[in-house]
Structure 1
């Protein structure tokens, strides 16, 4: 396995802006998270029996958390409560976390959109796009199990190109039949489950066509999850697998391993790091297993095999040779961090040179299964092709 490693200590300080440090704590019940959020926003709760998710129009169609067991069940997903308590959340929407949220890429390189340039001094400061940090979404349609929201947004990149986009985002709870069909699995009453789809459409509503030379933005979906000491991320791979992209900090075989076309990565929120997989090695699903929680998480996403993805590696020289899948692991590195604790399951859309009026859609589905190891193993083998004993023993 060849690992590409990029280490810039200062970068980490600014990259993870506004994630306030919290110590590991007991898992909240879904109802507790819902009551907390009701103090600050008007949450939209989608329901399908005991399966529920919390969505927010104030936070751009973000899914804050989900549950498979109703209000008293555990809450799947992590979000930064300190930002709410300190009254900073609505000015730092991009940094609040949540089980599924939209960003725009890239956040590094010559086409970076997470920058602000002082017009007088020309100083470049790392900052989220203003609309991504402050703009609420409008609710267009709502039913018991689905909601569609959106807004027009303005994004500017480091080259000074202005993107004017119309974003429409649909969050939908997936039925048992949807889950069985999408993942080609069968479920029984021994497994509690919840699954939802986040489908985001971006339309170029500006006056200019997008070009690679001007820098293209992509849709970037990120889901913050609560870690455990033995949480292991699982990424099935294709092709000649000899490469993983490793950001920020060096890692060794105690934290990453590729074996039999499967990448195993420690997602324990104990060491600051991030990895990614390029399109040539990507399959449209990955996930994680937390044995302490009896929890298997699967992410399935839209992927057609296209090769142009924005590159978020600092100082890269190939802006469209980026990753499709990324996993971020929170933690400490020297005196930096932690910022959660959380780990993050991320996917990106391809980079498309949209003409005026053209659109791009990205779908990111999140599935949580809670039950006995034997039952979860059936799902892991069916979806990932990997036995959970292998997952548990892949890393020290």
Structure 2
């Protein structure tokens, strides 16, 4: 009997220790254990496993989250644990989260792919196409540092034109040298890092051209991130500023300011608002800084100087191809007090291409996180974004 009691005690102790070793909420380990319990999850690793990203094929090959310090490190992406755990399918959008998700634009206007032909541009008629919301992408290949996905589908726009298209999406994680070369920086031992990109290719499979009068598409990549009370979104810009802040109403200067080539926009997840920059202002880079956790996020996207970008505002457009290259969104309570997040978003779009049958367009969206001492974070922000973080006005 004494031996049995001793065995039970040892098993209980081992159980307690095992529980203690489980990564806590907010860590990468917590999130990948959660994701694996509900969906097939692909992990890509670099830097001896310190740099990792988690991808879910069922969510269109979406990068759900990443870390710079292994399983015990912070989980940088925002994940909607409640919705995923419920298994429910929402009628308009299934906002499961994720740092890099594949979408297509335009969202609003007379060439929209989110509104049915003839519908009024209001929330009652808005719906995310299932092929970029609930339908999985097929896995083409997976290796240690990359995963490739594809999907063939049709998509009807507001004019009734049916796009027949093929999407090929390759997600790859970077090593240290690739990060340094991508951003033109030098990494030292005073910060942790992770970097990856998605290369997204759309091919016209129609037997006819895609034309401006029927409507064009753009590749739209959106990243949802966990905010803090003091997170600030950073949008470097060139030339005379033409900031678009008309998406969800007015934004006062306690949340939005611009000075010396930088737009500062609060990303605290407490006030629903969105901004965008047109091609004339785009630099190919944007980011965010969380001074509480000393995390710098940088997004670098392909931008070839083209001026043709779809307009996604929910209205009929006089100029449907004068849209934004980059957008930033801050989540917040809706009119009824409910809230999806909190999170904030960093977004980039490709230009709109009038593709002939068999022609393709490609958009690259790369995400980098740096976490460490303030001196290191400030140095990287200056080198990669040309921004002095000590001058943030908030």
* TM-score, normalising length: structure 2: 0.89
1:351-374 alpha-carbon deviations (Å, 9 max, x no partner)? 001111000000000000000111
Where do residues 301-340 of structure 1 align in structure 2 (5 Å cutoff)? 301-315=301-315, 316-340=317-341
The CA distance in 1 between the partners of 2:64 and 2:92, in whole Å, is: 15
Query: 1:294 corresponds to which residue?
Result: 294
Asked if the contact 2:118–2:158 (Cα under 8 Å) also holds between the matched residues in 1, the reply is no
For residues 158-237 of structure 1, the aligned pairs below 5 Å read 158-237=158-237
After superposition, the CA RMSD in angstroms is 1.9
CA distance in 2, matches of 1:31, 1:389: 33
Residue 386 (structure 2) aligns with: 385
Change (3 A) 1:325 1:52: same
Distance (whole Å) between structure 1 residues aligned to residue 287 and residue 322 of structure 2: 23
- Aligned twin of 1:65: 65
Counterpart residue number, 2:19: none
Q: Please state how far the C-alpha of 1:93 moved relative to its aligned partner.
A: 7.3
Counterparts of 1:255 and 1:281, CA distance in 2? 20
Between 307-316 and 282-291, the greater mean CA deviation after superposition: 307-316
Deviations 1:18-56 (A, max 9, x none): xxxxxxxx9611111011111211100011121110011
Deviation for aligned residue 1:83 = 1.6
Task: Indicate the SS of the match to 1:247.
Answer: coil
Superposed counterparts of 1:342-381, under 5 Å: 342-381=343-382
State the distance in 2 between where 1:138 and 1:28 align.
29
The structure-2 alpha-carbon separation of the partners of 1:40 and 1:91, relative to structure 1 and needing over 3 Å to count, comes to farther
2:7 corresponds to: none
Task: State the 1:115 CA deviation.
Answer: 2.1
Q: CA deviation at 1:335?
A: 2.7
User: In 2, distance between residues paired with 1:337 and 1:283?
Assistant: 35
Structure 1 partner of 2:269: 269
Q: CA deviation at 1:91?
A: 8.1
SS of residue matched to 1:378: helix
* Cα contact 1:246–1:276 (8 A) shared by 2: no
TM-score (norm 1): 0.88
Give the 3-state SS of the residue equivalent to 2:30 in structure 1: helix
Deviation at 1:330, TM superposition (A): 0.2
Residue 247 of structure 2 corresponds to 247
Cα distance change on mapping 1:258 and 1:323 into 2, 3 Å: same
Gapped runs of 5+ residues in structure 2?
1-23
Q: CA deviation at 1:95?
A: 2.4
Counterpart of 1:182 in 2: which secondary structure? Answer: helix
Q: What does residue 11 of structure 2 align with?
A: none
Instruction: Work out whether residues 92 and 134 of structure 1, in 8 Å CA contact, stay in contact via their aligned partners in 2.
Output: no
Q: Cα gap change, 1:40/1:232 in structure 2, threshold over 3 Å: closer, same or farther? A: same
- Equivalent residues of 1:150, 1:168 under 8 A apart: yes
Residue 249 of structure 1 deviates from its aligned partner by 1.8
The answer for the alignment partner of 1:9 in structure 2 is none
Listed one character per residue, the Cα deviations across residues 64-118 of structure 1 (whole Å, up to 9, x for unaligned) are 0001111111111002112212212598775222011000101111111112459
Runs of 4 or more, structure 1, over 3 Å off, are 89-94, 116-119, 242-246
Higher relative contact order (CA 8 A, sep 6+): 1
> 37, 40, 47: which is aligned to 2:38?
40
Q: Note if contact 1:111-1:158 (Cα within 8 Å) is conserved in structure 2.
A: yes
List gaps (5 residues or longer) in structure 1.
1-25
- Distance in 2, matches of 1:275 and 1:93, equals 21
Distance 1:386-1:134 versus aligned 2 partners, 3 A rule:
closer
- Secondary structure of the residue aligned to 1:281 is coil
Asked if the contact 1:91–1:133 (Cα under 8 Å) also holds between the matched residues in 2, the reply is no
- The question of 1:258 aligning with 2:245 is answered no
For 1:4, the equivalent position in structure 2 comes to none
The alpha-carbon distance between structure 1 residues 251 and 93, as it changes in their structure 2 partners (threshold 3 A), is closer
In our comparison, the structure showing a higher alpha carbon Rg is: 2
Q: CA deviation at 1:314?
A: 2.2
Aligned residues: 365
Which SS does the other structure have where 2:292 is aligned?
Answer: helix
1:84 aligns with 2:84: yes
